[in-house]
Amino acid sequence: MARWQPGTRGRLQDAALELFASRGYEQTTAAEIARSVGLTERTFFRHFSDKREVLFGGQERLTEAFVRGIEAAPDDATPMEAVGDALDVATGLFPDDMRPHSRLRQTVIDQHPALQERERHKMSGVATTIGDALRARGVGEPAATLAAESASTVFGIAFSQWIQDGESRSLGDISRAVLAELRDLTGADRAPR
């Protein structure tokens, strides 16, 4: 599997993920993670504040990618067009060779309610920041929050699909398909009743 990140941090992440998946998250200590790749606990803590951060340290990059996408959208882009651009930037952080990693990470998270809670918290923070970036473009309420929550929902659905066994489309392609589906779903004229 390709590394999440290069260098020592990447080695520690790889090792942690393998141990979390094989032995269990609770049962794995920072010292064991470090030792399994010939490093010391001290080195581990130079790179991560705790073992949970191995799983969630990517949040900042993800948030930044969304914000970058929103900020780079053309001035005349609608809120949802800006969200589409942001999804393209954010999904670009996950090339196909990261899929096995992301799948393994999800397996670990799915086994622990506390980690699932942390994941929800993370995505809620991402949505809040996207909303801020949209408001900074002059998007009002509730449009900014609706568009930001939609971005987070589309990303979450696309990501879950991307790591399914047998799925071969890129995360970006899935994300664009889910966004199009959202447009069809919510944009349909209300039939006369």
Q: Does 146 bind its own copies (CB under 8 A)?
A: yes
The interface region with its own copies, picked from 16-24, 37-45, 55-63, 114-122 by CB under 8 A, is 114-122
The answer to whether residue 37 forms part of the interface with its own copies (CB under 8 A) is no
**Which is nearest to 137 in space by CA: 66, 79, 85, 88?**
79
Question: Of 166 and 190, which has the nearer Cβ to its own copies?
Answer: 190
Say whether residue 157 binds its own copies (CB under 8 A): yes
User: What's the CA gap between 91 and 65, in Å, rounded?
Assistant: 9
Residues 167-186 that bind its own copies (CB under 8 A): 178, 181-183, 185-186
138 half-sphere exposure, CB direction, 13 A CA radius = 5
Element containing residue 122 per DSSP (H, E): helix 113-136
**Min dist. Cβ of residue 48 to its own copies (A):** 22
Choice from 120, 132, 136, 173 touching its own copies (CB under 8 A): 120
For its own copies, the binding residue among 33, 55, 115, 154 (CB under 8 A) is 154
56-95 binders of its own copies (CB under 8 A) = 74, 76-81, 84
Amino acid at site 8 = T
Min dist CB 47 to its own copies, Å, is: 26
CB-based burial of residue 77 (10 Å sphere; 0-12 exposed, 13-18 middle, 19+ buried)? middle
Long-range contacts of 92-98 (CB under 8 A, 24+ apart): 92/65, 92/172, 93/58, 93/61, 93/62, 93/65, 94/159, 94/162, 94/171, 95/2, 95/170, 96/170, 97/1, 97/2, 98/2, 98/4
Which listed range, 23-31, 50-58, 87-95, 153-161, lies at the site for its own copies (CB under 8 A)? 153-161
Q: Which of 184, 134, 187, 130 is nearest to 153 (CA)?
A: 130
- State which of residues 36, 102, 153, 170 lies at the interface with its own copies (CB under 8 A): 153
Residues at the site binding its own copies, with contacts judged by CB under 8 A? 74, 76-81, 84, 117, 120-121, 124, 142-143, 145-147, 149-150, 153-154, 156-157, 161, 178, 181-183, 185-188, 190-191, 193
